[in-house]
Structure 1
Amino acid sequence: MALIQSNLADGVGTIAFDNYGRRNALSAALIAEAIAALSAMRADARVVVLRAASKNKIWSAGHDLGELSPRGQDPLAWRDPLEQLLRAVGDFPGPVIAMIDGSVWGGACDLALDCDIALGDPDASFAFVPARIGLPYNLSGVQRFVARLPPNVAMEMAATADPVDAERALRVNLLNHLVPAPELETRTYAMAKTIAGRHRESIAAFKAQARALLSAASISPERAEYLEGVRWSVYAANALPSGAAPKE
């Protein structure tokens, strides 16, 4: 059974999570379908809307915890399915717009942050939860947070693992626009249609340049090795859970 819905019309692609029985958890199977859809749209879609297929309390529960690597292995390694999806979003030449109408948990926060634009309704919220499960984050994930958010807000989200509601999400740059729920879909696709009507190559060049600049920060090899050691010390001390997605 398909875990996403996808379509393409007039240069606007849509990828919609459609596995609410698992709270749209980002399983390897769902991610594989999303990456395949992005690849299929690459030639013709000028912009892609990433959304849930239906409005529910949870937009996505994030990384499927049952699929995380066991203790002693890096659950956020380069080849991890979620890391592959994040790279696919970044490599897609046109903007990817997140349309968020529910709560966003864990790894789904990474995905929302990695989208180029985000619109949400008052039910949108964001919870960064590694501190709940004893998971040390990887450098690329931390970079996404500190590039997008004020550093003190990123630290608060990482340390408390408490949700940030829609109004605050707008203030701290998690959302571009906060839209009344009945208008969210219309406003999102109106923006997508505007983008689809602009100069494709110019937008692609800006996206590539902006992402290159955001990732330009460098650290010494010694510092990188130290940070990896910090991460691995957490792996050694904490067994990762094999739990289900967050409950409503």
Structure 2
Amino acid sequence: MGEATEHYITSSAADGIGTITLAHAARRNALSHGMMDAISAALAGFQQQSVRVVIIAAEPGAKVWSSGHDIGELPVGGLDPLRYADPLEHTLRAIRRFPGPVIAKVQGSVWGGAFDLVLSCDLVVADASATFAITPVNLGVPYNTTGLLHFMGRLRLNVIKELFFTAAPAEAAQALEWGVINWLVPAEEIDAFTLDLARRMAAKAPLAMAVIKEQLRVLSDEVPIAAQTFERLQDMRRLVYDSADYREGVAAFREKRAPRFTGR
């Protein structure tokens, strides 16, 4: 079966495998509220259909897998741009809590919050066209603590610092070495390879798979942080998203010019 959700994604399910295809090429698959709501709804539908494995991909030939958070939807005026209730955060939780493996099939560039989405998937299959960049320092955005924990659950600390501090894209071979990618395969083989991987996992015991995934999520996500430490981090983030630099970063992106950061 297959269906289209607005113009953001297409989704289909067959033989216990669900596929979500990012299909908003006009906006380079930006993670807008509409896109996130569509993905979350597709995942909820797959769960009701007892889908065992999900593949998230972009349309064939897309040079940009996803451009990341829709900058036009970032709030200004002292509001947290990455709050718990944000649709992107809701979708990341839906991926991480889906009771079966979620595979990111990546061809093309991955930017900003889309990198967090890829890391929220259980496995990543990519071809040589894949690149990965996390770019909050280009915009003056204080990345949220939950998102940083997602990166810390997958990558070495020095790698995380290089990615966040430079905002430079990591090429596919580097991403494989760092552990972002599970499998780097030729472009002409990626569809068959990913489907075969999904089929092999879909043939395993679904209840055991679900509980193992949930145990791993809890063990990696439920990192205890003292209340006063969390509040201090949130206060530090608040100073940034209420700063002139944050307003300048967002304005510069919208005006397609280089930002002029002052540290205030």
Common fold: TM-score over 0.5? yes
Pairing partner for 2:83 from 77, 80, 89: 77
Match of 1:11 among 9, 16, 20: 16
In 2: Cα distance, 1:208 partner to 1:55 partner: 34
Q: Is the 8 A contact 1:86 1:114 kept in 2?
A: yes
Q: Which residue of 2 aligns with 1:226?
A: 232
1:161-172 map, 5 Å: 161-172=167-178
Structure 2 residue runs of 5 or longer lacking an equivalent are: 1-5, 257-264
Distance in 1 between residues matched to 2:59 and 2:44, nearest whole Å: 20
Counterpart in the other structure of 2:3: none
1:28 corresponds to 2:37:
no
> Where does residue 241 of structure 1 map in the other structure?
250
Residue aligned with 2:153, SS: helix
Give the stretch that moved more between structures: 231-240 or 105-114.
231-240
Contact 1:26 1:64 in 2 (8 A): yes
Listed as ranges, the gaps of 5+ residues in structure 1 are none
Task: Report if aligned partners of 1:129, 1:161 keep a CA contact under 8 Å in 2.
Answer: yes
* 1:56 CA displacement: 1.6
Normalized against structure 2, the TM-score is what?
0.90
Deviations 1:141-197 (A, max 9, x none): 000111110100001101000001100100111000101111111100100011111
> Equivalent residue of 1:241, what SS?
helix
Aligned counterparts of 2:164 and 2:82: Cα–Cα separation in 1: 16
Query: CA contact under 8 A between 1:18 and 1:54: conserved in structure 2?
Result: no
Query: Runs ≥4 in structure 1, deviation > 4 angstroms?
Result: none
Deviation for aligned residue 1:2: 2.6
Q: Secondary structure at the match of 1:230?
A: helix
Alignment RMSD: 1.2
Q: Matched residues in 2 for 1:216 and 1:84: separation? A: 17
Which residue in 2 is equivalent to 1:55?
61
Percent identity over the alignment is: 42
Code of the aligned partner of 1:116: D
Aligned to 1:67: 73
| 1:95 alignment partner in structure 2 | 101
Query: 1:54: how far off?
Result: 2.2
Structure 2 distance, partners of 1:144, 1:29, is: 23
Secondary structure at 2:100's aligned position in 1?
Answer: coil
The residue aligned with 2:192 is 186
Q: Which segment drifts farther, 218-227 or 129-138?
A: 218-227
Q: Which moved more, 1:35-44 or 1:122-131?
A: 35-44
> For each residue in 1:15-62, what CA deviation from the matched residue of structure 2 results, as whole angstroms up to 9, or x when unmatched?
000011100001111111111111111032100000002222110001
The letter for the 2-side match of 1:154 is I
Using the alignment, how far apart are the partners of 2:11 and 2:198 within structure 1? Answer: 15
Amino acid at match of 1:199: A
Deviation at 1:235, TM superposition (A): 1.2
Distance 1:55 1:81 in 2: 27
Residue correspondences, number: 245
- Matching of residues 97-136 of structure 1 within 5 Å: 97-136=103-142
